Structure 1
Amino acid sequence: MKVHQFEPNAQQSRSTDVFAGARYAVAPMLDWTDRHCRYFHRLLSRRVQLYTEMITTGAIVFGDRARLLDFSAEEQPLAVQLGGSDPAELARAARICTDWGYGEINLNVGCPSDRVQNGRFGACLMREPALVGDCVAAMKAAVDIPVTVKCRIGVDDQDTGPALDALAEAVVGAGVDGLVVHARKAWLAGLSPKENREIPPLDYARVHRLKQARPGLPVMLNGGLATLEAAEAAIRGQDAPPLDGAMIGRAAYQNPEILLGVDALTPGARAPAGMADGFEAIEAFMPYVAAQLESGARLSQMTRHLLGLFPGRRGARLFRRHLATEAVRPGAGLDVLRQAVAFVSREEPAGALPAEPLRNAS
């Protein structure tokens, strides 16, 4: 991967380096975007950028690295998202992740959970832009792959104008390679993480104003993007420079087939020769599932990421029910997955219906 060196006074010359070839990304989602999920998502799109769940620096430095960091080569391009606020520890964790083979380091400055706040990282760092800049600078000095930041537009009573500007100024000065902006405030007291993904109003225009002020900074939009059509419209905006891409979260997990359309929307990509639909994707997933079962994984660890497939098709409810009840049984194998797929009609649904909320949705 290209090494990205940043010069604060030469922004225009590198406007889309870090997101080139990855107009779309699947957001890092705790308990969701594990290696099995990412492998399946890669089958649906060759060009979408994938991210790990957030991993704390302490877990990487002192924990079971193989369990936390191992991935399949097929998942690339793949970024790791780090949670932390100590520049030296972040630098150390970034070096470990680079040696492990990741292609991008992303710093979480957006998670609003109490546990994350207690660790002095995540969204509460919006109040400490200078510290975030120090963290980025330390990682940039330690690794030769892109370092990006995922943030909010502000927290609590902050004015989103100066709050986001201060964060951007600090990380740009530190050499950041790109910014992913969740276009909502986070309320650190009074709202749960789930409510913080839904209640604070979206403000895409604020993200476009950031891009207008810093045209050379690669900026990707996140928040409330339920379809690729909505994401394309949000990227273009109105009366402002277009953004460099969009990061889709829950919609990509709860209806993964939307990722089938990503490659055709990626600039410079050849016409996709990927999967036609969810049925073909599951067939392609079967060898991976078999190999993981052989190595000791449980079927439910993989099939839980398939429950959002087939919205609007007859039999989709039976598909989900069968996997939810049978895949968790000891010794469950590929036959359970095949039986579940057999419940689903292969006739195109008359209209795309929204996927039912998943029970494990956070």
Structure 2
Amino acid sequence: GKEFLVNAINETLKAEFRHNPDTFIWGQDVANKDKGGVFNVTKGMQQEFGEARVFSAPIAEDYIVGTANGMSRFDPKIRVVIEGAEFADYFWPAVEQYVECTHEYWRSNGKFVPNVTLRLASGGYIGGGLYHSQNLEGALATLPGARIVYPSFADDAAGLLRTSMRSRGFTLFLEPKALYNSVEAATVVPEDFEVPFGKARIRREGSDLSIITYGNTTHLCLNVAERLEKEGGWNVEVIDIRSLIPLDRETIYESVKKTGKALVVHEDKVFGGFGGEIAAGIGSDMFRYLDAPVQRVGSTFTPVGFHPVLERAILPDADRIYDAAKKLLEF
């Protein structure tokens, strides 16, 4: 049957810990006896794999990332998973160590790279206010040397996590916490499932408009596409990029070539957000195929408010995406 996103991650972690005895996880609260972190992601892991492989770290994010980099030097078979902070918002003190991790491969001329999967519970829509709703991918994508993935369905979360843990190198694995127990994000997860880096997934085929998205907004975009079909007979393609670095330009460009119109949607702020990179690429490389200017939908350039009314005003919602899409379709 279908699995929730949180269970898909939990099951995959356990399967990979059984697959490779040189796998370790640490971070804030990951070894909490009955829970396993604030979201139950690591539930049951210390019981099965013991304190030497699954343990809670101090509340010191730079220490968590720095020790992962150091420990993975000891043996190339070692794979480290870290919960970089309990919420992505608290990751900032670790950015210096994050930079070190991104540099290593280049600095050692390819001889060494930290084999680390860095997990962060990201995003809003949970009434979390400015300290429990942030997205970091736009800021961290500016540093070359890390893969950045952001699944929005249970099977992709499992598949990308397995690929991260089996691959050499450093991966930032962002988890949309609002979807951990969401029915929309639940899917059947095939056994031993792997998802390659740098491969987008076309969630819905269409010929009138390409919506390019990832994370929490994937589900909003799919709902908007359904609504546009019902109301106007429009046929909207929805692409879930899943992987920001490396980015699957090919799938995005093929789609834009077909539809002639592009709407880039993400939860993060529009200004300085990762969507600007996608929009610029489409503008530079696909200009001759465009029938309308590339448009973007995302958060306002403010911290995320605590009050539900403020959160609704700041984070993108289905109506904002619908209005932008309809305008493009009618252009």
TM-score (normalizing by structure 1): 0.29
The two structures have a TM-score, normalised by structure 2, of: 0.31
Is the strand fraction higher in 1 or 2? 2
Q: Say which structure is richer in helix.
A: 1
